[in-house]
């Protein structure tokens, strides 16, 4: 599959007058928004459909990222995400490891080491290729249960997505949801429960595996999930790193569905 991704990197800080100075302060917070399967064609289609504009056009700097896998000119979601999360070229299917299979630290893990609050929000299973690449180190993207176990090897503050079965209904009999509770995570299983959490650690599972499509009634879960994550993470005085993925733009491409892909794009562009 020809996978195209456009990266929207939003660096939020209170610069004030410093913007006019030669040496600006480093941003306190980093919010990384990834549209899986969102290339130039999808963006242009979105602009035309949305009366000529998208919010992502308002960013002061816009650029292109060209990437290929170490074993293929065309990346899959895993190798493509690795370029964003770890800054290395790797083989298709790799999660958090380089072309030789060696673990590589991700930007989320580096942020944790520096004391920042960290979070992931996605509209797919939280163990899927893109979110997994920020927190896990596995030889293959298909190892969902191993990827879920890697969440317990980090100190991530908030993660919201699907994939409940890989934590609580595993083939090895382990109950990682209980393990998360023992580590002071609040567990949410609906978007309503997510919105009730105002502080502390949050692990939210909005589906057994993949989250619902718009046509299946998902609604504005991504917006509400992101708002909750931001409200929790911003309490850290050192700053935060938050990755937000619009996962289902890619699914629209797989399904050859113009409407499916664009609805998912607009949901990310809110």
Residue-range domain boundaries for the chain: 6-12+27-268
Catalytic residue among 77, 85, 133, 136: 77
pLDDT in tens, 204-260: 999 999 988 877 878 889 999 999 999 999 999 999 999 999 998 888 888 888 888
Q: Which residues are annotated as a binding site for Zn(2+)?
A: 36, 250, 254
Rounded-to-5 percentages of helix, strand, coil across the chain: 35, 20, 45
CA distance 123 to 191: 12
Q: Which residues are annotated as a binding site for Mg(2+)?
A: 36, 128, 130, 245
Active-site annotation holds for 77: yes
Do 157 and 202 form a contact (C-beta atoms < 8 A)? Answer: yes
| DSSP per-residue string spanning 109-170 | HHHHHTT-EEEEEEEEETTSHHHHTTT--BS-TT-HHHHHHHGGGS--SEEEEE-THHHHS-
CATH code for the domain defined by 6-12+27-268? 3.40.720.10
Rg (CA), the chain: 18
pLDDT in tens, 163-212: 999 999 999 999 999 999 999 999 999 999 999 999 999 999 999 999 88
241: three-class secondary structure by DSSP: strand
Q: Which residues are annotated as a binding site?
A: 36, 128, 130, 245, 250, 254
| Reported pTM | 0.87
């Amino acid at each position: 599959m020809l996978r195209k991704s456009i990266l929207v990197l939003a660096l939020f800080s209170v610069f004030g007058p410093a913007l006019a100075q030669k040496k600006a302060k480093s941003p306190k917070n980093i919010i990384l928004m990834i549209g899986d399967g969102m290339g130039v064609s999808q963006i242009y289609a979105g602009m035309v459909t949305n009366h000529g504009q998208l919010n992502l056009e308002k960013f002061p700097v816009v650029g292109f990222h060209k990437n290929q896998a170490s074993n293929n000119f065309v990346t899959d979601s895993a190798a493509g995400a690795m370029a964003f999360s770890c800054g290395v070229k790797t083989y298709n299917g790799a999660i958090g490891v380089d072309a030789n299979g060696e673990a590589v630290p991700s930007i989320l893990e580096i942020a944790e080491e520096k004391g920042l609050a960290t979070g992931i929000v996605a509209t797919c299973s939280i163990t899927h290729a893109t979110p997994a690449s920020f927190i896990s180190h596995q030889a293959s993207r298909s190892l969902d249960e191993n990827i879920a176990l890697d969440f317990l090897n980090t100190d991530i503050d908030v993660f919201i997505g699907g994939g409940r079965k890989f934590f609580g209904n595993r083939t090895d009999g382990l109950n990682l949801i209980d393990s998360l509770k023992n580590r002071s995570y609040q567990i949410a299983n609906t978007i309503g429960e997510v919105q009730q959490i105002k502080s502390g650690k949050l692990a939210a599972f909005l589906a057994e595996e993949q989250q619902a499509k718009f046509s299946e009634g998902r609604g504005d879960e991504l917006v509400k999930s992101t708002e909750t994550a931001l409200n929790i993470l911003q309490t850290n005085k050192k700053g935060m790193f938050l990755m937000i993925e619009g996962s289902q733009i890619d699914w629209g491409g797989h399904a050859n569905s113009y409407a499916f892909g664009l609805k998912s794009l607009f949901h990310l562009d809110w």
